[in-house]
Structure 1
Amino acid sequence: MATSMQTSWVDFFKDVDVIIDVRSPHEFAHDHIPGAINLPVLYDDQHAQIGTMYKQESPFSAKRLGAAWVSENISQHLHGHFQDKGKNYRPGVYCWRGGQRSGAMATILSAVGWKTKTLAGGYKMYRQHVVDALYHKPLSQMFIRVDGNTGTGKTSLLQMLAKNGEFVVDLEAIAHHRGSVLGGLGQKSQPSQKWFESQIYVHLQKSDGPIWIEAESLKIGKLRLPPKLWEAMCDAPIVMLESDSTRRVRHLSTIYDVDGLDAGEICEKLEFLRPLRGHEVVTYWQNLARAQNWSALIESLLAQHYDPSYRRSRQANVAAGATFNILDSSGSVDVELVDKLLTETRLKLGSHC
């Protein structure tokens, strides 16, 4: 029989083949250690019923029923996920605070013969590390902030840099939102604030060089940037992108895949701008959307909404960085222009890059 060992945060990830979160699916969906898989020992309804029984009936009755359900669920996992695992399989298991749920799974897995670790403090310990890193301690990583008007290719630049091996944190991809009134178009539902922060945290841990990141407002959709990340971004050197209106319109038409846009959805979202831009302007935009005159709509939104908003929010930083155009005449990102940007940025920042 192999042993089950409770380990600290530092040692938990060493010499394991998989991280298993045994909490309920709802808890897992809200936030978890990135890369973990979910093998619940209690499912959502079971977890809720046990909690109610513990408070309203008795701890003994709750534990007795809970033990039965936990045993049944672990049995199912043994016939499922663990069915083809060899004797050298090394799982790491955690629950809410490193208590009975992870202990039950670890006991059975160890009895089978697998060397099993549990995380002391469980998810709560992990979450504390995330909070310390993003809320309390200054970030040690160096950032390069990509700034510029809407449609100048900031997100496309980050994607190209990532493919070329640069360290990139794409906040809009993590947030499932492009950071504007129309930023949710074509996106999945936004994650929880905690899962958003977990993904930022793990991205930061992977970097050993400068991190390219897009300039954002403090909020991306419903999500807020963690304070220490926001501070680091504000202090970061800036690479400024610029381009003419025609290229920006063409670039945005491609990014938003205008042929697949829903005019009704766009009109609904444009309603939020009525108090800011006035009835006449918003009605004009909605009429362009209904007519599917996407180029005219994008051009007008840039001129009458996005560019004025950008000037107000970024005025203090406009002259702070080198300026580049990376779009060709069709609105596509030009590889040679990106190479030039990267070379000049490295020369300017010197040993930091």
Structure 2
Amino acid sequence: MRYSVGLFKAPLFAMKYPLLRSFADLLPELGQYDAIIDVRSPLEFAEDHVPGAINCPVLNNEERIRVGTHYRQVGAFEAKKLGAALVAKNVAQHIEMLFYSHPQSWKPLVYCWRGGNRSGAMAHILAKVGWPVTRIDGGYKAYRSHVNTELTSLPATFHYQVLCGPTGSGKSRLLRTLVQQGAQVLDLEQLANHRGSVLGNVPDSEQPSQKWFETGIWHALRQFDPDRPVFIEAESKKVGKLRVPDSLMTCMRASACTVIALPLADRVHLLLDEYAHFVQDAAHLTHQLDLLAPLHGKDRIAQWRMLAESGEMPKLVEALLASHYDALYAQSVKRNFSELGSATMLPLADGSTQTFEQAAAQLIATAT
């Protein structure tokens, strides 16, 4: 076998790398790469990234700021020298710590913000080693443009079965059971890391960025079979602070509905189970209740606070359902879901696992 002369001795066929390809061309082949490497800073990566990517920054958050400041205050040439030294050091560290044991057949895909200097540096060195590396033309921006375009039309390629029902009726639990039984489920609250109400924030956990939420929706939809139904919970336009894409909302609101009905006592028990963190942290709960004051007035909020502070959680949950959640939910679904009038009713006898498993099996069997 013939070899090139240089610091890195590699087969001549490796000299055609790195390849530069568009994201649209790469999309059907993403699963064929051994690693998708995002070389942007950790902050950029945290906001959004290609699903399945790992973060191997060639400039960390502080270094990126430092190079940018140097560019503005000193000049482009000096900034490039500084950046080159930092990038070379970081790429070397990634090779030593993460890539060193990989065989020559290891096939990485690399990208940065625009597919320019940062990914180019990483890809160039990996290719010189002899790895068959590919770089995304246009980088993250090209990927993001593709997702934005897809989200305007992709939701309409599926038919949805929308689960309706008042708070505590078990819609989210039923979605999880449907997943266990092999159904296609788009769980927006799970993707948004929020339960969709003023008390719906998940403790000690932030919601993702809007972009990452949309990436999650796109990634889930592109794996679904258009010939099978997609089960989804009736949601408002926002889940916590995150906005559901308009195209998906339009499809949801015109889709067939199934109304879940669970006895009140079981609804209370289910909510106490799923919101157990509020039982353990009454101070946090009372703070969240204060947010309802514009709707219910200070006197009613004071009554609810007393129930929370005295540990009378079942009574508090019943009061919230009767005076707040049920009325708001009824108004919202009637206004927004055009097929609600012809909805299928699905009464649940209780909140047991067996009941939910039977309900999920029934939904799968009857979905069209």
Q: What is the TM-score normalised by the length of structure 2?
A: 0.90
2:309 matched to 1:287?
no
Q: Deviations over 1:235-264 (max 9, x none)?
A: 221111112211211111222226853100
User: Partner letter of residue 152 of structure 1?
Assistant: S
SS of structure 2 residue aligned to 1:6: strand
Q: Deviations over 1:207-261 (max 9, x none)?
A: 0132111111111111111111111111221111112211211111222226853
Partner of 1:171: 188
2:242 matched to 1:223?
yes
2:272 matched to 1:272?
no
Taking the aligned partners of 1:246 and 1:137, their CA distance within structure 2 comes to: 40
Task: Tell me whether 229-238 or 62-71 shows the greater mean CA deviation.
Answer: 229-238
Q: Structure 1 residues 228 and 221, CA, compared in 2 at 3 Å: closer, same or farther?
A: same
Q: Deviations over 1:119-144 (max 9, x none)?
A: 00100001001111224676312221
**Contact 1:156 / 1:333 at 8 angstroms: preserved in 2?**
no
User: Partner letter of residue 194 of structure 1?
Assistant: K
Partner of 1:151: 168
Q: What is the TM-score normalised by the length of structure 1?
A: 0.93
Which blocks of at least 5 consecutive residues in structure 2 are unaligned? 1-9
**1:152 shift after superposition:** 0.7
Partner of 1:64: 81
SS of structure 2 residue aligned to 1:165: coil
Q: Structure 1 residues 129 and 329, CA, compared in 2 at 3 Å: closer, same or farther?
A: closer
Taking the aligned partners of 1:30 and 1:121, their CA distance within structure 2 comes to: 18
2:364 matched to 1:342?
yes
Which blocks of at least 5 consecutive residues in structure 1 are unaligned? none
Partner of 2:5: none
SS of structure 2 residue aligned to 1:278: helix
2:207 matched to 1:190?
yes
Taking the aligned partners of 1:340 and 1:136, their CA distance within structure 2 comes to: 30
2:234 matched to 1:249?
no
Q: How does 1:252-331 map to 2 (within 5 A)?
A: 252-257=271-276, 260-316=279-335, 317=337, 318-326=340-348, 328=350
User: Partner letter of residue 146 of structure 2?
Assistant: H
Taking the aligned partners of 1:327 and 1:258, their CA distance within structure 2 comes to: 27
SS of structure 1 residue aligned to 2:185: strand
Partner of 1:11: 25
Partner of 1:106: 123
Q: Structure 1 residues 26 and 136, CA, compared in 2 at 3 Å: closer, same or farther?
A: same
**Contact 2:263 / 2:349 at 8 angstroms: preserved in 1?**
no
Q: Select which of 95, 105, 111 maps to 1:94.
A: 111
Identity score, percent = 41
Taking the aligned partners of 1:336 and 1:312, their CA distance within structure 2 comes to: 29
**1:335 shift after superposition:** 1.9
RMSD value, Cα: 1.8
Taking the aligned partners of 1:177 and 1:266, their CA distance within structure 2 comes to: 15
Runs (4 or more) in structure 1 with deviation over 6 Å come to none
User: Partner letter of residue 280 of structure 1?
Assistant: D
**1:44 shift after superposition:** 0.6
Q: Structure 1 residues 253 and 332, CA, compared in 2 at 3 Å: closer, same or farther?
A: farther
Matched positions, count: 346
Q: Structure 1 residues 104 and 134, CA, compared in 2 at 3 Å: closer, same or farther?
A: same
